[in-house]
């Protein structure tokens, strides 16, 4: 049967970004026939024993407590489970000196759902027929943003400024404020901090400047802090979460050990929160109350924030150090390779300037030596201008063991050398002809 789909149906029935690439990765692993692969594509967080134990303890408390039936056997408020809202309110007031009421907070079924609500509440076609854009201040950014807009063409991303350290083979993306502009056609602004896939952390000054540019137009700015403090606190460089005014601070508990429970948290202006809550009510009523109930316990006790700083952050920071040391040792100094500064998140981002054949070709070559990475081109949603850089990057997961990372990156370096040699030879032959 081939069902007739609406425009929205056609839009949402296609996989976007990394989800489309993951289909090829899964098929590769299934057809391995004895070949062993080191999989550096994973977005799932590592199951860290101390973190798993925390969630087991919170679950045991819930099971033994008198509220279990109310939590699991009844519907709840669309805004969220009240004890979790109170836990977030009190924690953030104490931690950041905020003046919050419960109406400043919304619990959603994961942060991806939150950005879907925001993208379609503030982006797309208005009642007058005008189109409002969702603006990403710099690209690359989270691939999932490419699939949240129901109206095609709503997403608009800006090319960044590249801050290069050629001697150390490092670089960093920065917003290019000479390009960046918001106007009456801007619906909302969205970016991740720390960033998936690059690990980039926009500075406090950059965030303040973006918010100030959007504020006169009454444009909300959504900061995707799925990797930020206070949980999971996967920032390897100092950063201060930003609140107030037109800023909506968005958290996720996925990288804090609860990806299966789909819990997102938005903190911001009550009028914006109310719009998102109504959207959620119409779409799915509310998030999982079981996950919210155990999260409330972990946040109220302080255990989640403590584990984030003492266990989760150091685990991934050590992995990033392994990546840096291995690439510095194995990659030739005379090739134009640049590793993004390791400022946070659970990925490393490698740029291979003027990469012969592009990222997809390198991905295929790496599979032949038993290494799987994610080609970088899917992390540039909304970028409208041509830019060769989009075909020159790969994402490397920090979820593998130290030994796997060292082995895989050693093989990667060998493959990269061969790819550049082949490219040089082809160019030489072409000129000779």
pLDDT in single tens digits along all 433 residues of the chain: 888 888 888 888 877 666 677 778 888 888 777 788 999 998 899 999 999 999 999 999 999 999 999 999 999 999 999 999 999 999 999 999 999 999 999 999 999 999 999 999 999 999 888 899 999 999 999 999 998 999 989 999 999 999 999 999 999 999 999 999 999 999 999 999 999 999 999 999 999 999 999 999 999 999 999 999 999 999 999 999 999 999 999 999 999 999 999 999 999 999 999 999 999 999 999 999 999 999 999 999 999 999 999 999 999 999 999 999 999 999 999 999 999 999 999 999 999 999 999 999 999 999 999 999 999 999 999 999 999 999 999 999 999 999 999 999 999 999 999 999 998 888 777 665 4
What does the alpha-carbon distance between residue 89 and residue 98 come to, in Å, rounded to a whole number?
9
Q: What is the predicted pLDDT for the residue at 432?
A: 57
Q: How would you classify the pairing of strands 371-372 and 264-267?
A: unpaired
Name residues whose C-beta falls within 8 Å of residue 203's C-beta, 6 or more positions apart in sequence: 239
Which tokens go with 346? 């659970």
What does the alpha-carbon distance between residue 257 and residue 312 come to, in Å, rounded to a whole number?
9
Q: What is the predicted pLDDT for the residue at 8?
A: 83
How many angstroms from the chain centroid is the CA of residue 48?
20
14-48+307-424 in CATH: which number?
Answer: 3.90.1150.10
| Prediction pTM value | 0.95
Name which of 296, 412, 294 is nearest 348 in CA terms.
412
Domain regions of the chain by residue span: 14-48+307-424
What does the alpha-carbon distance between residue 114 and residue 252 come to, in Å, rounded to a whole number?
10
Q: What is the predicted pLDDT for the residue at 26?
A: 81
């Amino acid at each position: 049967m081939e069902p007739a789909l609406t425009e929205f149906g056609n839009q949402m029935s296609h996989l976007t970004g990394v989800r489309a690439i993951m289909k090829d990765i899964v098929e590769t692993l299934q057809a391995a026939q004895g070949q062993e692969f080191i999989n550096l594509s994973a977005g799932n967080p590592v199951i860290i024993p101390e973190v798993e134990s925390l969630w087991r303890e919170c679950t045991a408390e819930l099971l033994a407590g008198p509220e279990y039936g109310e939590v699991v056997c009844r519907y709840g408020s669309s805004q969220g489970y009240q004890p979790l809202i109170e836990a977030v309110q009190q924690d953030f007031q104490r931690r950041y000196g905020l003046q919050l009421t419960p109406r400043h907070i919304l619990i959603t079924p994961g942060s991806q759902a939150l950005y879907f609500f925001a993208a379609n509440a503030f982006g797309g076609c208005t009642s007058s027929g005008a189109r409002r854009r969702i603006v990403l201040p710099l690209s690359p950014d989270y691939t999932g943003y490419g699939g949240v807009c129901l109206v095609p063409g709503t997403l608009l991303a800006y090319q960044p400024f590249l801050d290069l350290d050629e001697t150390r083979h490092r670089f960093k993306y920065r917003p290019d404020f000479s390009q960046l502009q918001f106007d009456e056609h801007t619906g909302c602004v969205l970016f991740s901090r720390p960033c998936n896939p690059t690990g980039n952390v926009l500075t406090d000054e950059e965030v303040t400047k973006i918010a100030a540019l959007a504020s006169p137009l009454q444009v909300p700015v959504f900061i995707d802090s799925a990797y930020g403090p206070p949980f999971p606190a996967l920032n390897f460089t100092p950063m201060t979460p930003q609140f107030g005014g037109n800023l909506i601070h968005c958290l996720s508990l996925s990288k804090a050990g609860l990806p299966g429970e789909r819990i997102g948290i938005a903190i911001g202006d009550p009028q914006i929160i109310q719009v998102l809550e109504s959207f959620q009510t119409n779409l799915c009523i509310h998030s999982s109350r079981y996950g919210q109930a155990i999260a409330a316990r972990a946040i109220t006790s302080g255990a989640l924030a403590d584990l984030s700083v003492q266990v989760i952050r150091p685990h991934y920071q050590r992995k990033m150090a392994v990546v840096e040391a291995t690439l510095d040792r194995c990659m030739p100094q005379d090739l134009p390779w640049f590793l993004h500064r390791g400022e946070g998140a659970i990925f490393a981002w490698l740029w291979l300037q003027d990469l012969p054949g592009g990222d997809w070709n390198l991905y295929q070559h790496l599979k032949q030596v038993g290494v799987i990475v994610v080609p970088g081109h899917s992390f540039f949603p909304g970028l409208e201008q041509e830019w060769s850089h989009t075909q020159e990057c790969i994402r490397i997961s920090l979820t593998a063991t130290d030994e796997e990372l060292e082995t895989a990156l050693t093989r990667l370096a060998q493959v990269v050398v061969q790819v550049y040699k082949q490219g040089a030879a082809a160019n030489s032959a072409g000129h000779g002809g």
